[in-house]
Each structure stands twice: as C-alpha cells, then as structure tokens.
Amino acid sequence: MSISLDGPCMLPDENKVKNIVLFLHGYGANGNDLISLSSFWKDLAADTAFYSPNAPFKCDFGADSFQWFELMNRDEKEMKQGLKKAGPILNKYIDELLLKHKISEKKLIIVGFSQGTIMALYHMCKRKNSCGGILGYSGMLFDDENYKKSIESKYPVFLYHGKNDNVISYESSIFAESKLKEYGFDVTCKIQDQLDHGIDENGLIEGKKFLNKVLGI
C-alpha cells in the first residue's frame, strides 16, 4: 500500500499559488513544528503556499512524533536504507503539489530542519528538474558512493547551523558546503555562535533573505 503524506498548510488568499515553500521537519517532530515559520515569512509574497507534512513513519517518542527514517543504530547502513525508503514517498508528494497548483519545480523551495535537511539534500538533486532552492537548518549531507553520479539537477543552497549543536555538529554543514560546491552547487553556509540544535531569530532573518533571493522577490 502506498503512503501519502499529510499535514498542516497555509494557503494564500483565493488559493492563487505561484510559489510553494515545503517544510521537512526533524526526527521525532511533526508538521506543526515548522508551519509556524510561515507566519514569519508570510509577507514573502501573497501567492506563496506553505506546506508542512508529517514524515511518513511513526516515531517512538509519542503519538504525534514522526520520522523520515529510523535512527536506532545511527549508522551509515541504517541511514542509507531509510533515505531510500522515504525518497519515493517524498517525491510522490512533491509531484502531487506541483500538479495541484500547476507550477514548475523552479517555484518550489524546500526548507528542512535536521533530518528534514538530510532528506532534502539527498533527494532533491536526483529529480530531473531543479527546484528553486534548499534552505537547510542543522543538517548534514549523506554523501554516499552513489551521490555524485546520481545528481541530475542543481540549485542554490543555504545552510544554517548552530555552533553549539550537540545533536548534529556544525562541522557537518561545513562539510556539506564544501562537497556541494565541489559538485557544482551554489552554496552559502552560516555558522551561528551561541546556538544549539534549533533555529533562532537570526536564522529566520537569513532564511527570509534566501527565500527572497531565490523567489525573485
């Protein structure tokens, strides 16, 4: 049985959508965790829709906890299997959104946090058509042996990471910046002092600048 994603969304007046910001939440959270960011960015454009689906798999943290892939062992094999399992589900959801609103992939921006950033960086480049960009908070790049040769599309990437992050080291974003630049992506990385595993006000401001840029606002 195929799995469909669902979760909160914020749609513009009269549903006249020309841009989509798609939030991918972190491990153990849900779509409500990031949809609140839309209130900070809602003046980007009157025609931007914000979607924040729950990840496809339940997490042991509680009834409202979801995961894109398991992290029981936190090893490379587990992560690779999980990413491959979740990829088709995410791609199906993206295809449905683009069809629903009849917009091109260039008008789709992915905003990920932690595990959501890992998902975005691993899968979006494998799609034939490039999205508008990826804004990745507190994440990492899963650069496996097939990553480089599987790249079919490229787009701007902005990475934001707290220097005091004790869940995913900020060095993971520095590594991601280096590798993605090597692979031909336009990448900017900001490491924020005095920030742990989260998104602060400066991260929202920097994210908004990135969204303004890639959406041409």
Tokens of 94: 């993206």
DSSP state of 55: P
- The answer to whether 34 and 23 have CB atoms below 8 angstroms apart is yes
Return the number of other C-beta atoms located less than 10 Å from residue 119's C-beta.
26
Tell me the residue ranges of DSSP E strands in the chain: 9-10, 19-24, 48-51, 57-58, 66-67, 108-113, 133-137, 156-162, 186-192
Tokens of 150: 């599987």
**90, burial (CB in 10 Å: exposed 0-12, middle 13-18, buried 19+):** buried
- The answer to whether 120 and 143 have CB atoms below 8 angstroms apart is no
Tokens of 11: 């749609």
Query: pTM here?
Result: 0.95
* Choices 3.40.50.1820, 3.90.1150.140, 3.30.420.40, 2.30.110.10: CATH for 9-215: 3.40.50.1820
User: Structural domain boundaries of the chain?
Assistant: 9-215
What string of pLDDT tens digits covers the 217 residues of the chain?
A: 478 899 999 988 766 889 999 999 999 999 999 999 998 887 776 789 999 999 999 988 778 999 999 877 667 888 899 999 999 999 999 999 999 999 999 999 999 999 999 999 999 999 999 999 999 999 999 999 999 999 999 999 999 999 999 999 999 999 999 999 999 999 999 999 999 999 999 999 999 999 999 988 6
